[in-house]
A and B are shown apart, each in its own frame.
Chain A
Amino acid sequence: MENTFNIKEGLVIQGTSFHPSRETIWEFCEASLDYNPLHWDDDYMKTDFGKTNFGGIIMHGMTNFSLITKMMTDWCLPLGGIHRRLETRWKSPVKPGDTITPSGIVKKVKKTEKANWVVVSILVTNQESKTVAEGEAMVEFQD
């Protein structure tokens, strides 16, 4: 098990790419119980949302959230860390056929009275290197 003090600011964490399709989006509907028509109803998605028209169904934002979570736990669990927090903001919709990839960079290592905490800045980008989500995670490494 790696000692937390080996974790330095600037460390890059790479996540796994994901290829959403109509099928994966529907699978997420069934797994999450979130059947919002944003994610499956083509006719509904032809309508305007205020000034926004998505031009078709969109992936759940919480799929992004889940992919970031996987990246963080894949990284920290083998090191003995515990994923303690994730904050995300959705910047751009993700559609079937896109390829999205999360990544992180350690921006702060902070020792408290009982643990070492690692703050990770998060980005999710699509196949055009456009940011679709951003956020911040915290991992605890207990003494």
Chain B
Amino acid sequence: MNYKYDTDFWAGNTARKIWDDIIPGEPRKTIPYTLTKEAIYKLCKSTGDMNPLYVDEDYAKTTRWGGIIAPPNIHVLLMFSCTPNDDWMRSPGTINASQSWSYNIPARPGDVITLNARALDKFIKGDRLFAIHDNVFFNQDSEVICSGRGWTIRPV
């Protein structure tokens, strides 16, 4: 990590925006992150996705990609590695209701990945407070890796 990552999501929670304070359209603070083979391996292993394209350099070199790539769902990790501790996606009790993602080019080990992110919308449905997050990840050449949005139920 490029900064001290706090795994205690309660720590500093008062610094995070609550639903009332989230402004749709306002950019979220983000942090560049350098992707590693080790980080890709950990994510793949955690769900049993051990395709050699993601974990075996010798095999990956023989493919059309010419080397290890990250699986499409690498944005699961990037969402947290590219945001600071006070990002509201870390608020304890944030419930993931839905997500949609589009994939352009794969992320690769050594990529320095940046994120453009914002709240896109917020609304009330029944008793629940929703916020939609909107995200685009880029590599060091300003190429889009993937873009996506998620519907979250905010803690109350």
Bitwise, B75-115 to A at CB < 8 A (1) or not (0) is 01101110000000010111111111111000000000000
Q: How many inter-chain contacts with C-beta < 8 Å in the A-B complex?
A: 116
The 4 A-B residue pairs whose C-beta atoms are closest, nearest first, are: A33-B80, A87-B100, A31-B46, A61-B96
The answer to whether B45 and A34 have CB atoms under 8 Å apart is no
Q: Which of B47, B81, B99 contacts A88 (CB 8 A)?
A: B99
Question: How many residues does chain B have at the interface if contact means C-beta atoms less than 8 Å apart?
Answer: 40
A121 to chain B, nearest CB (A): 14
Chain A residues with CB under 8 Å of B7's CB are 29, 33, 35
The answer to whether B46 and A73 have CB atoms under 8 Å apart is no
Chain B residues with CB under 8 Å of A77's CB are 51, 53
- Interface SS, B side: mixed
Chain B residues with CB under 8 Å of A35's CB are 7-9, 90
B5: CB under 8 A from chain A?
yes
Bitwise, A46-88 to B at CB < 8 A (1) or not (0) is 0001110000000011110111011001100100001111111
The answer to whether B100 and A86 have CB atoms under 8 Å apart is yes
- Contacts A31-B39, A86-B101 supplied; 17 other A-B pairs, CB < 8 Å: A29-B7, A30-B46, A32-B76, A33-B7, A33-B77, A33-B81, A35-B9, A38-B93, A50-B156, A51-B127, A62-B99, A67-B47, A69-B73, A70-B71, A84-B103, A85-B102, A87-B99
A84-122 residues at the B interface, CB under 8 angstroms: 84-90
Chain B residues with CB under 8 Å of A34's CB are 76, 79-80
Chain A residues with CB under 8 Å of B51's CB are 70, 73-74, 77
B150 to chain A, nearest CB (A): 9
Bitwise, B54-77 to A at CB < 8 A (1) or not (0) is 000000000000000001110011
Q: Which of B10, B39, B95, B98 contacts A38 (CB 8 A)?
A: B95
B114-156 residues at the A interface, CB under 8 angstroms: 127-128, 155-156
Question: How many residues does chain A have at the interface if contact means C-beta atoms less than 8 Å apart?
Answer: 40
Chain A residues with CB under 8 Å of B95's CB are 38, 49
The answer to whether A62 and B76 have CB atoms under 8 Å apart is yes
